[in-house]
Chains A and B, each alone.
Chain A
């Protein structure tokens, strides 16, 4: 065990953990965050996605010790209840979920990609989401929401 400091959603958090612990376990269990979720533990589905230094990463296969210098943002850290982030608002407006368990993967992967590629084509967005799963298959609405957000970014 060792004491590590993480920066999560704009706050410094100290935790005493095994440095090999996956980041997801720390976020969910030690910091009681609800956004990132355990889907597969294998980095295959995206439900555990967080943004670290601007990149969408799979927190279930990321040792916590490797991100101590990163600025980490989880889904609940994007916006506030009063002011959802524009991409969250787009998902709300499009009613773009069913069970919603996948949304960290879908929203954060799309956001990180569009932040770097604001003029991305539909095919490029699709490619960026080719490793993210939604088993309710809310794809149609999710793409509408992502396009709506992308339009706002480039407007």
Chain B
């Protein structure tokens, strides 16, 4: 059943360019995974957010046990600060019945870990903590160990118990055998067993508890190794020189302009890609600043003040998610029709550390230390731009600053690879603040028209959603490096844009992965009904137009923009019929878990049932109010409701959010403290986005290029009191919790502003000027 090292593993290690011996010494365990073939065709859309790769059906790709009983697990889902590393260690410890201290975890290294695509879209919990992938591997390993022990001890598996890395006879625990003796240093050679039984949350002793993060000490001590700290012998330092504006092309490069910069090694020009390599980072910074490049004039940018009107006029790719066919007729016969339009700007990931990567490209192999969320896809696209085969490139995920989606990590990986190849030496590249902010893949700009018809009792009988959003590029996936700036500068195109009007009628059951559909519609397509609500006359129509800027997944991509429009609008409708916003939502829902989250949040917030706005509003001074918003994140990946309380200074337009109450159901909870940390951070990040963040540009270039021109709330702002209520659903599937609270916070605040003042703000961000304008427009 076991043998030393499979031939494909040996081959993979050889191809990855380092010896098996290194592995064995370094990990104390056998490593048996390998490049996966045939995945390049499997990328779905450019905007695919939760792509989970092919994984592996082989236990040895996931779990290895050393002779001393140490368990090494291999995961394709990485930790970028969300606590997933610790949570995955807990999962492995729990399923394998070993103490946490005996678990080691290797994440996202294309020479060692399974291809799990991209770590994103709060998909890691659904993917690795249910009945597939890492969780199933760990359960299969435990059952396999029990089977091996059964043969060794001559006792039926049912009479054995695994505990603390040892399998014992239940009745006579002195008869036992430890894991190291059973399989240590050898492979399992079994397939993942879909019947392997997960330990039920009732039995959990490690998973489900607030285990402190294993990386926290090194972070606080300043000793943690970020990708920014990676050094390789002989490493040089690169910087890139980006165009002054989108569409500008290289007309000439004056290398003499940097001839006297000390330490300069090379100026690299490939198409419109320009970079410098020098001995030290300071030399590279100076060379990049001084290099004279003659750029052509770029394409003119559409005026920012008109952008929401402009995108309605562009050729568009149209999608109908739901169309019951009777919406126009129902609206026509409705007692009342309510309508409103919402606008959401481009926003940035704005990582606090500008992106960095280290590449060591040699003639026949390349190694890349990258903070990409997509180790395998980045391996393939990097190989493509280097003209190498994917299996000669090794991507080693190394954490960067928090990314919140596709920040500059992928593009800077290409930058480092190109520069390293040009000089034949390892090169580290870190982007400047402006390089990061002017060229990243922004969260999409949206304008959304909402319309409902009401019957005479005030119930919604028809819901009509129509949105226009702007997009270009996105995650590169396995084969589209042109989806980020460096790829485009190298001459590779972003994924093609194919206008399509009108949209074909929907045929597939509603997949509400981008929360395009509001929670209150039935979501009927043919015989299916996937919505969370009761409104049966329903239409959800999206128009996608070409963006002048790169766009891509930004924490709660599209889900946040859509939810802002849905949840503010639901509030407006409730106002129209003078209903309590909580009760009105519950009346239109057909979803027990979301309803429970709403009730829990309202109860915790001591919500007083009454319509908005609050009675007795005066038009000056500070006014207080409360608002609620909720969502079934991605349709079925976490259920959250939030109550926000705000003070609005009606004289200055300044907002102070005083309290946020969040109730969240993400299935069985892996680590309650980690989950709270995500909810708190998401809520405040969402507040920053709601109150102040927007990408700006003039007629030729992006003008939000640093922290003065792109406003993030600092550590020292008046933080609201945050109360999180975790709803632990131990008999449900595990869902994510990284993107839930951020999805609802802008709507909850917007609704609270209305409750306080009677002024409705339909555009993010809620700047003091915008708040004052809305207050002035009150009738």
Contacts and interface: CB of A to CB of B under 8 A. Distances in A.
Interface of A: 1, 17-18, 21-22, 25, 28-29, 32-42, 44-45, 47, 74-79, 81, 84, 88-89, 91-92, 95-107, 125-143
A143 B719 contact: yes
Contacts of B226: 34, 37, 101
Interface in B219-233: 219-226, 228-229, 231
Contacts of A91: 216, 220
A38 B353 CA distance: 6
A102 B219 CA distance: 10
A6 to B, nearest CB: 15
Contacts of B82: 98
Contacts of B220: 84, 88-89, 91-92, 96-97, 100, 103, 107
24 contacts: A25-B280, A25-B282, A29-B281, A34-B224, A37-B228, A38-B430, A41-B432, A42-B707, A74-B222, A76-B221, A89-B220, A95-B673, A97-B219, A99-B81, A126-B716, A126-B718, A127-B716, A130-B715, A132-B716, A133-B352, A137-B687, A138-B681, A139-B680, A141-B677
Contacts of B683: 137
Output the residue of A38, A76, A81, A143 with the most chain B CB within 10 A.
A38
Given A34-B224, A139-B684, A95 B212 contact: yes
Contacts of A100: 81, 215-216, 219-220, 224
Interface bin, chain B: 35 or more
A1 B399 CA distance: 34
B717 A126 contact: yes
Contact of A40 (B221, B404, B706): B706
Given A34-B223, A44-B708, A95-B213, A133 B714 contact: yes
For the complex of A and B, the 6 pairs showing the least CB-CB separation, nearest first, are: A99-B81, A75-B222, A35-B222, A129-B716, A100-B219, A137-B684
A104 B223 CA distance: 11
B714 A81 contact: no
A18 B281 CA distance: 12
Contacts of A22: 282
B684 A140 contact: yes
A24 B678 CA distance: 31
A32 B231 contact: yes
B677 A132 contact: no
B563 to A, nearest CB: 19
A10 to B, nearest CB: 15
Interface string B725-737: 0000000000000
Interface of B: 80-83, 212-213, 215-217, 219-226, 228-229, 231, 237, 262, 280-282, 285, 350-354, 399-402, 404, 430, 432-433, 673, 677-678, 680-685, 687-688, 706-708, 712-719, 722
Contacts of A38: 228, 353-354, 430
Given A84-B217, A95-B213, A132 B714 contact: yes
A37 B681 CA distance: 21
A17 B212 CA distance: 41
Contacts of B401: 37, 39, 47, 99, 101, 135
A135 B216 contact: no
Contacts of A32: 231
A127 B678 CA distance: 25
A140 B350 contact: no
Contact of B715 (A17, A34, A40, A106): A106
B374 to A, nearest CB: 18
Given A34-B226, A47-B352, A139 B715 contact: yes
Contact of B282 (A21, A37, A105): A21
A77 B719 CA distance: 30
B81 A136 contact: yes
A134 B404 CA distance: 13
B707 A44 contact: yes
Nearest to A123: B718
A104 B717 contact: no
Given A41-B433, A44-B707, A79-B221, A97 B216 contact: yes
A155 B401 CA distance: 35
A99 B80 contact: yes
B685 A137 contact: yes
A18 B282 contact: yes
A40 B706 CA distance: 8
A31 to B, nearest CB: 12
B260 to A, nearest CB: 13
B722 A140 contact: yes
Contacts of B714: 129-133
A81 to B, nearest CB: 7
A121 to B, nearest CB: 13
Contacts of B399: 99
Contacts of B213: 95
Contacts of B400: 99, 101
A134 B350 contact: no
Nearest to B436: A40
A129 B684 contact: no
B281 A76 contact: no
Contacts of B215: 100
A78 B220 CA distance: 10
A33 B237 CA distance: 17
Nearest to A135: B352
Contact of B353 (A47, A130, A139): A47
B222 A98 contact: no
A93 B682 CA distance: 21
A142 B583 CA distance: 36
Given A75-B222, A92-B217, A136 B685 contact: yes
B454 to A, nearest CB: 38
Contacts of A76: 221-223
A80 to B, nearest CB: 8
Nearest to A142: B715
Contact of A75 (B221, B280, B433, B681): B221
B336 to A, nearest CB: 40
Given A40-B707, A138-B680, 11 more contacts: A25-B281, A36-B222, A42-B707, A75-B221, A89-B220, A97-B219, A98-B402, A99-B400, A103-B219, A135-B402, A139-B715
Contacts of B212: 92, 95
Contacts of B680: 137-141
B221 A81 contact: yes
Contacts of A107: 220
B108 to A, nearest CB: 16
A129 B722 CA distance: 19
Given A18-B282, A134-B715, A40 B402 contact: no
A22 B283 CA distance: 11
Output the residue of A18, A97, A107, A125 with the most chain B CB within 10 A.
A97
